[in-house]
Amino acid sequence: MPTVNRTVIDLSHFNAVTSWVQIKEAGVMGVIHKATEGMSYIDDHYDQAKAGALAAGLLWGAYHFGNSSNVDSQIANFLHETGIDDKTLYALDWEDEPNGRTMSLPQARAFLTLLEQRTGRKGVLYSGNTAKQALGNTHDLFFGSHRLWLAQYTTNPTTQASWSAPWLWQYSDGVNGPQPRGCPGVSGEVDTNSWAGTDQELIDQWAGVKSAPTLPTVDITVESDISVAVRVHAGKNVVIE
């Protein structure tokens, strides 16, 4: 069994925070809070929780609960609520929707693509069985390039073939999974997450790495009918064929 290191909690309007200071004193470094769901739902605890967490010196993250509705509208709803900055962790919650409106594989791909385009960083993908069932045994390079926040309440978590290991492991929902369950400063059941690295590594990796800009390939045709393709890579190398 991996060593459980309760370093991150995730919250929504279902959770009642009694003390952000106690949360931090319990060893928690970061909080990921539900911001939105679908095309229009906004978690009414999000703004107040963000203010309290940041005041206590905690890292802040936001997640969107995806469903099968229009992806462009879901992205707009999410980023309108969260805003865009270089310190927030942005995550897609891809799990089975209780009413059968589960986000499809192409929709999850589209959401993450738009999220990167609009924030400049790759988002985190939260999932468990939904991703495993949708991807099967496929080693998907697109999904594998995103950090996996794995939901699995067991002593031996396993990832889908696209990842060698989870970036973050949600090991308990407050009822199931290994100890410690729950968290001081939050009443009742709370989702808890284990981080396998150092505190500094979590700080450094939290918001994600800024995406490199995509530079175009320029085709130039000269009078001698020779096609010259100029490819510029990161402003350094020029290849002429």
Helix H or strand E encompassing 119 = helix 105-119
**Tokens standing for 111?**
């959401």
pLDDT at 184: 98
- E-assigned strands of the chain? 6-11, 16-17, 30-37, 41-42, 59-65, 89-93, 124-127, 148-151, 168-172, 186-187, 191-194, 217-221, 227-233, 237-240
End-to-end CA distance of the chain: 54
Strand partners, 31: 9, 60
**Tokens standing for 104?**
């499809």
> What distance in Å separates the CA atoms of residue 235 and residue 92, rounded to the nearest whole number?
32
Closest listed residue to residue 47, CA positions, set 17, 78, 16, 81 = 81
* Whole-prediction pTM: 0.88
What's the DSSP call for residue 146?
S
Spell out the domain ranges in the chain.
6-205
> What distance in Å separates the CA atoms of residue 213 and residue 219, rounded to the nearest whole number?
19
Q: What CATH number has the domain spanning 6-205?
A: 3.20.20.80
Helix H or strand E encompassing 200 = helix 199-205
Q: pLDDT tens digits for the chain (241 residues)?
A: 889 999 999 999 999 999 999 999 999 999 999 999 999 999 999 999 999 999 999 999 999 999 999 999 999 999 999 999 999 999 999 999 999 999 999 999 999 999 999 999 999 999 999 999 999 999 999 999 999 999 999 999 999 999 999 999 999 999 999 999 999 999 999 999 999 999 999 999 999 988 765 444 444 344 444 444 434 334 333 333 3
What's the DSSP call for residue 21?
H
